Structures are given as C-alpha cells and as structure tokens.
C-alpha cells in the first residue's frame, strides 16, 4: 500500500499543467547534446589527424569534428541552463510573492545567511520585545522569544479569565513581528472588532485562542500559528502556570506603614506609588522546558527592552529562567528602555533600571548594559525631555556599558528595530 502511494505521488509530477514535463524534456535534450559533443571530441582525440592521410582529408574536414563538438556542447549548455532556470521558476513560483521571481538568488542568499545567524533568545514582553524581534529577524532565523504570561488587562485578561488560556496579547505582537509578511499580519492581528459580541477583542487574540482550542493546548497553538504565518523563529512562554503579578508599593508615608500590595499586572501602573518590588503568586513556578533549553543553547541572550516591572521582571522571577541565564555561556545583554514607563519607572535613569533588576534577581545576571545616548532629537508635544531615560555612565558598576543611538526618529520614546539589531550583531561578531 505504501509503495503504491509513493508511486502515485511521484507520478503527480507528470500531471498536465504543472509546467514541469516540458523543461525536463528540454533538460534531457541539452544533456544529450553535451554528451554527443563530448563523444565527438573524444573520438577526435583518440584518432588524431596525424593518423589520417592529409591528401584525402582537407583542412575543413579535419576541423569539422572539433567545430561540431564545440557547437553541440554550446547548444547543449544553453538548453540545459534554460531548462534549469525555467524548472526552478516553475517549482518556486507557488512559494514566492508576485515580483520576486527574478530575485530568487538574492532571496536564497539572505535565507541561507539568516539560517547561519546566531542563536538569539529575547526575554520580555510588550511592544519593546516585538521591536527587537523585528530587527533581529533580518539577521537570523534562529530566534526564540520568551514571553511573560502575567498580563491580565484588556482583551488578553478577559480571555484569560473567561476561557482559562494564557494571555495572548504579547504572543500576538511577537507573532506579527516575526511573520514573513509583517505589515499585513500586523494590520490583521491588531484589528479590533466593534461588534457587541467581540467588542474590544483583537483578531490576533481571538486567532490564538481559537487555535488553542483546536489544537488542544497553548503550546501547540503557538507552533501551528507560526507555521500558518511563516514566522521566523519560535515564541515560547516563560511558564505555563497561571501566575499573578503583585507589587509591593511604598509611598511617602512608608515610615507609617502605609505601603501596600497591589495584585494584577494591569493594576500596578495605576496605583500611583513607587514600586519597591514585584513578585509572582504563586512564587515558585516551573519554567517552560523549551524556554530553558533555548537559553542554555543560545549564543546571545537579550533581556528587554520592555516595561521593567511588568514585562521584563515577570520572566526573570521564574526561578529556573534566571538560573538558566546564569548557567548559559551566551553573550548576555540588558537593553534599557529609551523612555520611562509612567507608573513604573518615573524618574529612573539607566543605573536605577539596573539597580531594580539587581534587587530582584541579584547582580551579574548579564554582561552588558545597552543604553541610548541620543537625546538631541525633536520630541512630540506630549513628551518632555524628562521622559527620556537619562544616562550617567559613571553610576553603572560591574557591567560593560554600551551607549549608542537607538532612538526611532518617528517614535522617539521607542527603540529603532534596525539600530538595535545592528548593535546586537556587532556585539556577537566581536564576542
């Protein structure tokens, strides 16, 4: 039965309309002409003109075998090259976007170059992580995004509470960022319905939730979604457990014991008090095994960018994730935000971001601190200079500081994806 199935599959190549048979026939003719020219040439070498009576064979007759061999060979080479070109176009056309047929060599070169790129693991969440992934995918396809699952606000929070799935919002953003046709997928995934039944939900969140129901689990849903969207890389949760992010807040009346605990990632920035620390409930959760394996096998680990307390730290508070980062021999970089996060890091400079990380996970988790040093840019009216994260290189100790122009000129409160990725690749090359 399997033999018949295999034979039937092979015979499909001969079906009419595939545009294959004609080029295979032309290829056969070209190879035959090359072989014939080679045979004539070989016979002429084995029977040199010196063994033939010159009076019976004029010069033209002596040169005829060489000329015919050359012409047959050139004709055969031309037909073979044409057949191979057309055959490749017929085979590749279903997988190429319109207009890309003439760029096959370029596409293949860039694909192979990305295949041999460094194994990069990006840890975080929110728009910061998707910006990083958007830049990295131009340099490597060996990307793993490790994403927080503590989101409990908006559409993601509603789906999490009502259907019991992991919050899909950050996964949606990263799927869109790593998709082959990013512009279209981003528009599609960020589209929000206005109808009453699905009011406020984005298509991407509903897509991932539906895929989770169809496949039976969230992990499989991410894998299948990545296939459908031609995603370059993998997207993994830091844990599969239902965690809740809490914050210990301290106000001006801390001495009077008026600090308080806020539960829920979406509620923390709204509290209006400085954050002393964040923690997970439950506190000891198992890391997703695939995320740990990716970290241990990585060449480059990037922590951030993203909201310090609600996107970056929830991943690092999963103890096995932090242990794996320490155990990994990869190049480890913390990317500090370009702008402060209102309600989280008001008044923070780069050193304060690093100090907050050390308070939660201890020193020495990463090797480099990457920060923006471009502040002389025009800002929109709603953004003041104080909103940009200040850089005081003398205040950062124990890490190698790299300062570079990382600002997106159109959105100066965010990183430029390509600038950020270029610095990362340069670091990898030097390391």
End-to-end alpha carbon distance in the chain: 54
C-alpha of 127 from chain center: 14
Measured CA distances, 40 to 7, 30, 54, 216, 357 (Å): 38, 16, 20, 66, 77
Distance CA 32, CA 17 (A): 25
* Helix, strand, or coil (residue 138): coil
- CATH number of 113-149+238-243+282-430, picked from 3.40.50.10860, 3.40.50.10680, 3.30.565.10, 3.40.1160.10: 3.40.50.10680
Show pLDDT as tens, one digit a residue, over the chain (431 residues).
456 666 666 666 666 666 678 888 888 899 999 998 888 888 777 666 555 555 555 555 566 777 888 888 899 899 999 988 888 777 776 666 555 555 655 555 555 666 778 999 999 988 889 999 999 998 998 999 999 999 887 777 778 777 778 888 889 889 888 987 767 777 777 777 765 556 667 888 888 888 888 888 888 888 888 888 888 899 999 999 999 999 999 754 454 455 688 999 989 988 888 999 999 999 899 999 999 999 999 999 999 999 999 999 999 999 999 999 999 999 999 999 999 999 899 999 999 999 999 999 999 999 999 999 998 888 877 778 788 999 988 889 999 999 999 999 888 889 999 999 999 999 998 87
Element (H, E) at 221: helix 218-228
Domain ranges in the chain?
Answer: 16-51+58-89, 113-149+238-243+282-430, 153-232
* Helix, strand, or coil (residue 164): coil
- By the 8 A CB rule, do 417 and 131 touch? yes
User: pTM for this structure?
Assistant: 0.75
């Amino acid at each position: 039965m399997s033999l018949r199935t295999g034979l039937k599959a092979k015979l499909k190549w001969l079906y009419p309309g595939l545009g294959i048979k004609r080029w295979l026939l032309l290829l056969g003719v070209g190879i035959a002409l090359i072989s014939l020219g080679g045979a004539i040439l070989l016979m002429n070498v084995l029977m040199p003109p010196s063994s033939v009576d010159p009076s019976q064979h004029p010069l033209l007759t002596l040169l005829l075998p060489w000329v015919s061999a050359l012409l047959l060979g050139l004709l055969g080479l031309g037909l073979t090259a044409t057949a191979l070109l057309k055959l490749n176009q017929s085979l590749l056309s279903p997988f190429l976007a319109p207009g890309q047929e003439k760029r096959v060599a370029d596409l293949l070169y860039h694909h192979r170059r990305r295949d041999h790129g460094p194994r990069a693991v990006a840890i975080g969440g929110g728009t910061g992580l998707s910006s990083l992934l958007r830049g990295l995918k131009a340099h490597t396809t060996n990307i793993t995004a490790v994403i927080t699952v503590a989101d409990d606000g908006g559409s993601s929070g509603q789906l999490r509470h009502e259907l019991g799935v992991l919050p899909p919002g950050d996964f949606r953003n990263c799927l869109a960022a790593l998709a082959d046709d990013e512009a279209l997928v981003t528009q599609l995934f960020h589209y929000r319905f206005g109808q009453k039944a699905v009011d406020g939900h984005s298509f991407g969140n509903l897509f991932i939730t539906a895929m989770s129901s169809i496949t039976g689990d969230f992990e499989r849903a991410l894998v299948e979604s990545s296939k459908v969207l031609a995603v370059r890389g993998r997207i993994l949760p830091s844990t599969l457990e239902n965690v809740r992010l809490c914050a210990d807040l301290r106000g001006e009346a801390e001495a009077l014991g008026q600090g308080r605990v806020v539960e829920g990632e979406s509620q923390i920035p709204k509290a209006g008090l400085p954050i002393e620390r964040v923690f997970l409930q439950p506190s000891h959760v198992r890391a997703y095994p695939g995320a740990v394996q990716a970290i241990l096998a990585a060449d480059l680990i990037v922590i951030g960018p993203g909201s310090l307390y609600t996107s970056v730290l929830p991943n690092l508070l999963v103890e096995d994730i932090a242990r794996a980062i320490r155990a990994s021999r990869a190049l480890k970089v913390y990317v500090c935000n370009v702008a402060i996060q209102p309600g989280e890091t008001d008044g923070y400079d780069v050193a304060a971001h690093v100090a907050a990380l050390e308070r939660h996970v201890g020193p020495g988790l990463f090797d480099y601190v990457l920060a923006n040093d471009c502040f002389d840019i025009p800002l929109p009216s709603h953004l003041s200079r104080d909103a940009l994260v200040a850089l005081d290189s003398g205040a950062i100790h124990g890490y190698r500081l790299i300062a570079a122009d990382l600002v997106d000129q159109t959105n100066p409160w965010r990183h430029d994806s390509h600038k950020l990725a270029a610095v990362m690749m340069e670091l990898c090359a030097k390391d």
